[in-house]
């Protein structure tokens, strides 16, 4: 008897469900149509945004992310419209209210990630550097390798990969040594006391200028005395290179300049005994 009542109740419930489903069928079709149309529009806008952002931004990774983010927003809007058409307005309001509270809690817990994300977007549209620039922020120096939504990838002179959070770059001074295409190197040369400083400084300048890659017209080489001691004189040497040129790396030019100066001073020292004897 109980089994008979069970099957009878099951048939009645199934019939009611089918009836309700039949009544909802037009709404389901319309809601599905709206969602699919929104999905298609989101895809088209995503592709269009991706092309436009890639033309304006140097970082294709971030351009693709922003385009995908726009697509996701449109899809969410389409999903909300579909739920509204199905008559789930009350449930939708509850979901949105809960989502607002949840978003506040998550946003507070992950505020650093959100801060880095916004800083990354700001630098993507008006960034203070390009990929390949030599920069310094805080106590970190290196060449910019890439920029993503959370951090900036730098390669230090000693080969280390450093990932600096974007918010730190936004909040702290950033020194870009190559944004205008010029990079200056400085080093110190020690000259012995009681020697012909002016002649040796002229030799140093000439040795620097003859190295390939050193700028001669747009930026001038400087050679000046920086410190004087009883037993020696320190000379500061500064020269410029063009960072837009890929023929020779900056480190190779720097090494060749220092080697050229050293050879010029050694040759000068070797001529001193002969001149003294004369």
Q: Could you give the CA distance from residue 60 to residue 77 in angstroms, rounded to a whole number?
A: 26
**Which tens digits make up the pLDDT trace of 27-38?**
777 778 877 888
Residue 223 has a pLDDT of: 92
pLDDT, mean of residues 249-260: 88
**Which tens digits make up the pLDDT trace of 207-240?**
999 998 898 888 889 999 999 998 899 999 999 9
For residue 128, give both structure tokens. 């203070």
244 contact partners, CB below 8 Å, separation of at least 6: 181
Residue 92 has a pLDDT of: 56
**Which of 80, 100, 99 shows the shortest CA–CA distance to 88?**
80
Across 49-63, 112-126, 156-170, 256-270, the highest mean pLDDT is recorded for 256-270
For residue 24, give both structure tokens. 């909802």
**Could you say which architecture CATH assigns to the domain 2-109?**
Orthogonal Bundle (1.10)
- CATH number of the domain located at residue range(s) 182-272 in this protein: 3.30.70.100
pLDDT, mean of residues 125-141: 80
pLDDT, mean of residues 131-144: 85
| Edge-to-edge order in the sheet of strand 161-165 | 161-165, 151-155, 140-147, 134-137, 174-176
Across 36-50, 62-76, 151-165, 167-181, the highest mean pLDDT is recorded for 151-165
Residue 105 has pLDDT above 50, yes or no: no
Overall fold of domain 128-176: SH3 type barrels. (2.30.30)
Q: Could you give the CA distance from residue 10 to residue 165 in angstroms, rounded to a whole number?
A: 60
pTM check: above 0.85: no
pLDDT, mean of residues 159-186: 85
Residue 182 has pLDDT above 70, yes or no: yes
User: Domain limits of the chain?
Assistant: 2-109, 128-176, 182-272
Residue 5 has pLDDT above 60, yes or no: no
CA distances from 145 to 46, 65, 119, 194, 254 (A): 26, 18, 17, 48, 21
Across 58-62, 63-67, 264-268, the highest mean pLDDT is recorded for 264-268
């Amino acid at each position: 008897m109980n089994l008979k009542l069970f099957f009878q109740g099951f048939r009645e419930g199934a019939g009611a469900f089918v009836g309700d489903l039949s009544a909802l069928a037009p709404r389901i079709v319309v809601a599905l149509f709206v969602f699919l149309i929104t999905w298609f529009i989101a895809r088209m806008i995503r592709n269009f945004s991706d092309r436009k952002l890639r033309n304006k931004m140097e970082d294709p990774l971030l351009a693709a992310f922003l385009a995908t983010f726009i697509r996701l927003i449109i899809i969410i809007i389409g999903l909300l419209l579909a739920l509204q058409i199905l008559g789930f307005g009350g449930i939708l309001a509850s979901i949105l209210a809960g989502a607002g509270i949840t978003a506040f809690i998550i946003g507070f817990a992950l505020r650093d990630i959100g801060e880095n994300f916004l800083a990354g977007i700001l630098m993507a549209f008006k960034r203070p550097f390009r990929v390949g620039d030599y920069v310094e922020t805080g106590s970190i120096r290196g060449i910019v390798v890439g920029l993503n939504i959370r951090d900036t990838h730098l390669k230090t002179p000693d080969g280390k990969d450093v990932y600096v959070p974007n918010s730190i770059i936004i909040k702290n001074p950033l020194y870009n040594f190559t944004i205008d295409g010029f990079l200056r190197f400085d080093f110190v040369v020690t000259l012995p006391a009681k020697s012909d400083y002016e002649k040796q400084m002229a030799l140093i300048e000439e040795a620097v200028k003859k190295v390939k890659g050193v700028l001669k017209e747009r930026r001038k080489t400087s050679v000046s005395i920086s410190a004087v001691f009883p037993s020696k004189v320190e000379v500061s040497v500064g020269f410029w290179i063009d960072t837009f040129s890929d023929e020779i790396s900056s480190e190779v030019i720097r090494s060749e300049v220092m080697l050229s100066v050293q050879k010029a001073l050694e040759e000068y020292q070797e001529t001193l005994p002969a001149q003294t004897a004369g």
